[in-house]
Amino acid sequence: METLSANNLTLGYGDKIIIDELNIEIPKGKVSVLIGSNGCGKSTLLRSMARLLQPKSGEVVLDGNHIAKMNTKEVAKQMAILPQGPETPEGLSVYQLVKMGRYPYQGVFKKWSQEDEDAVNQALEDTNLLDLKFQSVDELSGGQRQRAWIAMTLAQDTDLILLDEPTTYLDMTHQIDVLDLLFELNEKDNRTIVMVLHDLNLACRYADHIVAIKDKNVYETGQPEDIVTCDLVYNVFGMNCDVTYDPLFGTPMCIPHGRGRCILAEAHAEKTGYRNNCLTSTLKATN
């Protein structure tokens, strides 16, 4: 069952078409990751699915309803989005930022309630930020700041969360920290997670469902172990590689071809008996 889908969706800016008559279905209760080369339209597609960009044609459907016809607050009660590189107003505390996630539930006759307060505190607890509740967001590390933004989306209390490159500008430790958090939210609450990632190996590790974008449309979609091959990587990214298995998780792992420290590569090949075509050709070129 899908919770979010797009039918014959065409997107662009001015006369430039970025996505052309695309059809996609996002499975409910799964982690889906959009992959593709820079400029292929991943972020544009995500923004349109979140109703931040009006399609030139086609439609986005959320739980059976055309999203363009839905009330803004009703959309916000069903779907939260974290855009790439969000900017925090200066001096805002973590608590104040997370409180902003409750805006769909506020109104003229609906003021701040205990339910709202409980939702904020639960979001802070889920993201391990209770101890930093009253600290300024400006003073947080990159990983903590990203968790604060994720906490805001959690306070929105939706079953569907969209994230545009949530690990951008984070070091390796904080990338894993954020992705582990999203993975746990999916496992614990069965939330549907949709995100754009650049790191193909991390996408394979965390995704139940991958959507590869190329030439303004869906190139291939499915479970990582079913679709991530050398051919897909070459056709989508234009890169030669070997695809093996992650020794810790058993998920597909892409090893890019290219030049590097050939002396160490030769020693590794002799020690392990593993030699790929790129290694062989690179060594020949240097001898």
Is residue 172 packed enough to be buried (19+ CB in 10 Å), middle (13-18) or exposed (0-12)?
Answer: exposed
On whether the pTM is more than 0.85, the answer is yes
Whether residue 268 has pLDDT greater than 80 = no
The CATH H-level superfamily of 2-239 is P-loop containing nucleotide triphosphate hydrolases (3.40.50.300)
Q: What confidence tier does 280 reach under pLDDT thresholds 50, 70, 90?
A: very low
Quick check: helix, strand or coil at residue 148? helix
pLDDT, residue 86, reads 85
Task: Summarize pLDDT for 17-48 with one digit per residue, the tens.
Answer: 999 999 999 999 999 999 999 999 999 999 99
Give backbone dihedrals phi and psi of 273, rounded to 5 degrees, phi first. 80, 5
Displacement of CA 284 from its chain's centroid (Å): 40
- CA-CA distance, 45 to 67, in Å (whole number)? 14
Distinct helix (H) and strand (E) counts, the chain:
11, 12
pLDDT of residue 169: 81
Q: What is the dihedral of CA 236, 241, 242, 245, to 10 degrees?
A: -60
User: What is the per-residue burial (b if ≥16 Cβ within 10 Å, else e) of 7-27?
Assistant: eebbbbeeeeebbbebebbbb
Calculate mean pLDDT across residues 80-98: 91
Predicted pLDDT at 279 = 40
Distance of CA 243 to the CA centre of its chain: 22
User: Torsions phi, psi of 274, nearest 5?
Assistant: -95, 125
Q: Kindly compute the dihedral angle of the four CA atoms of residues 256, 262, 265, 266, in this order, to the nearest 10 degrees.
A: 140
Domain locations along the chain: 2-239
Return the exposure string of 48-82: e unless at least 16 CB atoms fall within 10 Å of the residue's CB, then b.
Answer: bbbbebebeebebbbbeeebeebeeeebbbbbbbb
More confident site: 281 or 259: 259
